[in-house]
Amino acid sequence: MHKIEKIFDINIVLMTLFSSVETFREEKNIELIYDMEASIPRELRGNPDVLLHVLNKVLTFVCENTDQKEIVLSLDAPEDFVYEEFISFTIKDTHIEKEKIRQFLETGLHDALEMLEGKIVYESDADIQLDLPFKISELGHRRHYRLPDISMLGKKVLLICENEAIAHSIEKMFKYFLYDVDVGFDAFKAQGNDLTPYDILIVDDHLNTEEFEHMIARVQQNIPLKYVLLKDAHIVERKMISVSTNLIKPVTEESVYELIISLFKTQTARREVRSHSKINVIDLEKYLQSNKDHEKCEDQSSKIQESIEAMIEKRRGMDLPILDKSIGEANTKNAGLTYPHELKIFLDTFDRSDLYFREIVNQKSIHKIKEFCIDLERHAKLIGAESMFKLAETLGLIFVYDKLDMLPIYPGKYHIELQKLIEAIKKELQFK
């Protein structure tokens, strides 16, 4: 077998991966975090397409089977990456049965791992560990990021991020550039709640308010503090008076590198001597936590305003396509699957399932109903069966809000929806 090798940027693979599993992550509200060691070269030589395929299948499997709300994909390599070395891709704490993981790895990844000449590692403490060999892009070219000016080195960062895994990952990436990083409110308290020593303040976007921005703007009149918001990619931009720029998740070493350059590109080569004649004391914990509590109260109040029955009726009454081919093809492509094959799987799995659903509802077998609805929701979303997906999602709301008295009306609704979907699938497959 001819081994394909080309130079690629590992960060581009990771960003593409993040987008490709977005549907599955959002479906279960899962945060994907990259934890990269400094030993990972920026550019590698190997097969990025197969690597992306492998990581996509792994993360899709984990998203579909885990009950955790965050997945940390760790990348590690030997410190002395001379020419060709194994890079370890690991995921821990998935809460998935070991045997189920083993079966997936050995059956679902066998051919792709063989193409990469990789191996599954079982003796580690990780739930999943794949060791894949890659070469450096150019012999002797091991250092991955070089800041263009010495004045960009040696900065001090204060990072306020409630997610410990994200905070740990970002901290390591800044330390790669010899930055001194304080994480959390306790570390800031140890500095006397004084922002004066810091060059960069990074805060979770959901903690930020316009009032806080004005407070930081006043501090910026005394010291050249760069205020950075840690944001999700889908957050809508607005004009902010004191925010220097954003750090978009998922954070990689590449994005930290670009952040530093964007913040200090206009600075002269001579490092500025910072005056400590003025202190800039702010009780960040009290202020930011109060913002968070206020947001929670508003969110809870808005949910209370809409009754459970009205919410369910609203979702059930939406006019959605029975089978959206464009959505289904995009979903299956992102998952490394083929659309016609998944349509056939849906037929094999759910044909005449309306009889089974009516039976378990009549038996009031809550556990079986839950399992059936989860399976239906996942398969319907994958193939673009938007109307069926919304019906399954509505059934999920009935369990979430404990409105089981509404269940008896749904076997009839499911029968009608299933017949329309099966007819649409069979019609689509006739053209293949």
Architecture of the 150-270+277-298 domain: 3-Layer(aba) Sandwich (3.40)
Instruction: Supply the pLDDT for residue 215.
Output: 87
Is residue 7 helix, strand or coil? strand
Residue 236 has pLDDT above 70, yes or no: no
* pLDDT in the model for residue 319: 67
CA angle, residues 144, 147, 151, in degrees to nearest 5: 155
Tell me which H or E stretch contains 187. Answer: helix 184-190
Tens of pLDDT, residue by residue over 214-231, are 889 888 988 999 999 999
- The better pLDDT of the pair 274, 165 is held by 165
**Looking at residue 237, what is its pLDDT?**
57
To 5 degrees, how large is the angle CA 201–CA 203–CA 205?
140
Residues in CB range of 202: below 8 A, 6 or more apart = 157, 158, 159, 160, 161, 170, 228, 229, 230, 247
- Res 302 pLDDT > 50: no
Please give the pLDDT value at position 306.
45
One of 2.40.50.140, 3.40.50.150, 3.30.565.10, 3.30.1490.70 is the CATH number of 6-136, namely 3.30.565.10
CA distance 75 to 83: 17
Q: Place 292 in a pLDDT band, splitting at 50, 70 and 90.
A: low
Q: Look at 298 and 339; give whichever has higher pLDDT.
A: 339
- Looking at per-residue pLDDT, the higher value among 299 and 382 belongs to 382
pLDDT of residue 269: 43
Query: In percent, how much of the chain has pLDDT > 90?
Result: 43
| pLDDT of 138 higher than 80 | no
Rounded CA separation 394/410 (Å): 10
Q: Where are the domains of the chain?
A: 6-136, 150-270+277-298, 306-430
Q: What is the DSSP letter of 285?
A: H
pLDDT recorded at residue 318: 57
Q: What confidence tens digit (pLDDT) does each residue in 16-39 have?
A: 999 888 888 887 889 999 999 888
State residue 301's pLDDT score: 40
Of 351 and 308, the one with more pLDDT: 351
User: Mean of the pLDDT values across residues 375-403?
Assistant: 82
Among 149-158, 287-296, 363-372, which stretch is predicted with the lowest mean pLDDT? 287-296
Three-state SS for 4?
Answer: coil
In b/e form, how buried is each residue of 44-78, taking b as 16+ CB within 10 angstroms? bbbbbebbbbbbbbbbbbbbeebebebbbbbbbbe
Q: Which residues pair with 203 in a beta bridge?
A: 160, 229
Average pLDDT, the chain: 84
For residue 275, the 8-state DSSP code is P
6-136 against 150-270+277-298: fold identical = no
